[in-house]
């Protein structure tokens, strides 16, 4: 009886009816606001970066370090990484493995990193090339981007091919050349780990030698950190030195590794203008330019002693990719 009376009173009261309508509007407005608030969370989840590594023990030797470095980066929570790294395998064996090719095709990856057996690209370049091209076609068909993991020469040369590669440099030169050539042919990305390794060897020989594990082939903790820095710089186009990461490596040595990674990948530190860099517009014309600054949408440069302003989207894809690494200062 009390229930019916209360309901009757509500129906008879215009004020309560008005309040009820007002409350309903507030509820609708609140739901709308909550929807707006939660929509960015959905967008972030949709922008997850998925990376698949396909290699062998050279990939296995860096997986822990790269995963930890990425986890410490701003992108960390949105990145998913998987590794296929059985010891001694080459790209040819991966191409012939249905479970691996299915993993590439079905995984909805953004990047697939390919690493061949450490000697194959130098000793059997055609074998490397054919397998790399075959895998790259699968990766392209899947909608992902291929990244070639350029490896490093062995510390004391290749003892199994000592006449061809008697020392580190002779092996590194061929590895660098063949990885770069295949990456260009496939229109793929190159993670220049080997070139960065060479730069550290040149800058600090003792540090360079400490990049190796005891076998003079696999990466030590320092070598793994170097590779992780190169992959972060290559895939995310950012300076790995900005990540707060506890590597147990002396800070000076970390700085040397970070600097080498920035230089080989082409990541530019802040406050570096002006920069001499040949730009190409989207018509294919090259411009000899001194870049003096960049806003979010425009690039400022001098050419033939005159100041110019270009919309960034007027540049070629390659120049836009380079410009994306530059800091905004306008």
pLDDT at 290: 92
For residue 283, pLDDT beyond 60: yes
Quick check: 36 pLDDT over 50?
Answer: no
Residue numbers of the domain that contains 286: 275-323
| Domain membership flag for residue 20 | no
pLDDT, one tens digit per residue, over 218-254 is 999 999 999 999 999 999 988 998 898 888 999 999 9
CATH of residue 158's domain is: 3.40.50.1110
139 phi/psi in degrees, rounded to 5:
-65, -45
Q: From residue 71, how far is each of 15, 90, 298 by CA, in Å? A: 57, 28, 32
pLDDT digits (tens, 9 = 90+) for 165-224: 999 999 999 999 999 999 999 999 999 999 999 999 999 999 999 999 999 999 999 999
Token pair for 244: 């707060």
> Tokens at residue 98, please?
């249905």
> What is the total count of domains within the chain?
2
Q: At which of 265, 288, 309 does a domain end?
A: 265
For residue 281, pLDDT beyond 60: yes
Choosing from 217, 246, 265, the residue where a domain stops is 265
Q: Which two tokens stand for residue 205?
A: 């020989």
Q: Evaluate whether 234 touches 147 at the Cβ level (below 8 Å).
A: yes
Q: What is the rounded CA–CA span in Å between residue 100 and residue 97?
A: 5
Contacts of 128 (CB under 8 A, 6+ apart): 90, 91, 116, 120, 121, 178, 182
The average confidence (pLDDT) of the chain is: 87
16 part of a folded domain: no
pLDDT at 236: 93
Spatial separation of the C-alpha atoms in residues 221 and 213, rounded to whole Å: 8
317: CATH:
2.30.30.700
pLDDT tens-place string over residues 132-151:
999 999 999 999 999 999 99
Residues 192 and 229 in one domain: yes
CA-based nearest residue to 233, from 248, 223, 243, 224: 243
DSSP reduced 3-state for 326 = coil
Q: How far apart are CA 60 and CA 82, in angstroms?
A: 11
The band of 14, judged by pLDDT with boundaries at 50, 70 and 90, is very low
Question: What pLDDT does 3 receive?
Answer: 40
């Amino acid at each position: 009886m009390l229930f019916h009376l209360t309901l009757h009173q509500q129906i008879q009261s215009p004020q309560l009816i008005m309040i009820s309508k007002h409350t309903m509007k507030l509820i609708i407005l609140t739901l709308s606001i909550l929807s707006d608030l939660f929509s960015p969370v959905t967008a972030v989840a949709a922008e997850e970066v998925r990376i698949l590594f396909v290699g062998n023990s050279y990939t296995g030797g860096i997986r822990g370090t790269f995963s930890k470095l990425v986890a410490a980066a701003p992108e960390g929570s949105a990145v998913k990484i998987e590794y296929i790294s059985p010891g001694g395998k080459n790209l040819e064996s991966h191409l012939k493995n249905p479970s691996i090719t299915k993993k590439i095709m079905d995984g909805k990856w953004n990047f697939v990193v390919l690493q061949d057996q450490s000697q194959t690209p130098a000793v059997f370049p055609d074998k490397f090339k054919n397998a790399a091209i075959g895998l790259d076609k699968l990766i392209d068909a899947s909608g992902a981007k291929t990244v070639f993991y350029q490896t490093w020469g062995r510390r004391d040369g290749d003892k199994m091919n000592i006449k061809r590669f008697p020392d580190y440099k002779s092996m590194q030169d061929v590895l660098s050349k063949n990885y770069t050539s295949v990456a260009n042919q496939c229109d793929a990305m190159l993670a220049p780990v080997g070139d960065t390794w060479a730069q550290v060897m040149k800058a600090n020989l003792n540090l360079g030698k400490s990049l190796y594990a005891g076998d003079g082939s696999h990466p030590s903790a320092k070598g793994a950190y170097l590779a992780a820095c190169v992959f972060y710089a290559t895939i995310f186009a950012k300076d790995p030195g900005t990540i707060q990461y506890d590597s147990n490596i002396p800070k000076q040595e970390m700085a040397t590794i970070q600097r080498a990674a920035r230089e080989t990948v082409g990541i530019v530190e802040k406050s570096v203008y002006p920069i001499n860099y040949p730009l190409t517009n989207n018509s294919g014309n090259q411009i000899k330019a001194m870049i003096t600054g960049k806003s979010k949408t425009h690039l400022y440069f001098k050419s033939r002693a005159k100041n110019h302003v270009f919309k960034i989207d007027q540049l070629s894809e390659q120049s836009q990719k380079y410009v994306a690494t530059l800091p905004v200062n306008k």
